[in-house]
Amino acid sequence: MDAPVVEGFQKLSLLGEGGGAHVWLAERDADRHAVVLKVLKTTPADDIDKFQRFRQEHAFIAAARHSGVVEVFGNGFAAAYPYLEMEYFPRGSLKVALKSAFSPRQALAVLAQLSGALVEIHGHGIVHRDLKPENILVREDGTMAIADFGVAARFEAVAIDAKNHQVFGSPHYLAPELILGEPASPLTDIYSLGIAFYEMLTGAKPYSARNVRELAQQHLSAAIPRLEASLADYQPLLDGMLAKNALERFQSAHDLLVGVDEVWTMLAVRVAQMR
């Protein structure tokens, strides 16, 4: 696809595509600032439903103003094609970052950032529904932000999707209740974040299988993996994020953030006692 002509921007290069949109790197004419343009592949006249979902994604990101959420600068049309102007992350995604080892403290710091972002997202009545390393982006300073709200939904809408047997998310990060046909909730986002936290701590996914069916069964019934002794301080966080029964998880992102703070405090006290 040729780079679209978007007034006020130049030097576009294709970064990727998916979810019905092309993602371009652009330079804003006004200040030569690098930004991302997410351009829908269809026009409103061609597919009004996709356009409405695109508008909804914009609304969700704009509502959740938090350093842990990708920033949206504006929106418009390139010819008849809708676009969003968003923050550019030169270091890519957490998936890329996971190719290098994380220290436990780094993993805990990232968990704190993302838990705070979920407090904000859920506080606006929004469930992300596809939280995974590919959708967590890394800034130049190493801070991270949740992106891609293409399948996010408001609390009141998720029950309708479940009733229609629509399941959103990625197999390795899918909460057990979604596999059972129950609605998504803030607790499903917490489960998905727990999978990513395990990856940061260990460099591997907690569950793997030969096919999606076997993977789903592991989400439903396999024991929560036990961390090696050197990482035992972080096991309570994993247990509270990856519980099979949603009622046994942290009951909100705020509760998770409190749990993270308790681990930070325990580690700080231990260091102080060693001096």
DSSP secondary structure of the chain: -PPP--TTEEEEEEEEEETTEEEEEEEETTT--EEEEEEESS-TTT-HHHHHHHHHHHHHHHH--STTB--EEEEEEETTEEEEEEE--TT-BHHHHTTSPPPHHHHHHHHHHHHHHHHHHHHTTEE-S--SGGGEEE-TTS-EEE---TT-EEHHHHHHHHHTT---S-GGG--HHHHTTPPP-HHHHHHHHHHHHHHHHHSS-S---SSHHHHHHHHHHSPPPPPPGGGGGGHHHHHHHH-SSGGGS-SSHHHHHHHHHHHHHHHHHHHHHH-
Is 130 labeled as catalytic in the residue annotation? yes
Q: Which of 2, 29, 49, 130 is catalytic?
A: 130
Exposure letters 87-98 (e unless 16+ CB within 10 A, then b)? bbbeeebbbebb
**Would you please indicate which residues are annotated as catalytic (active-site) residues?**
130
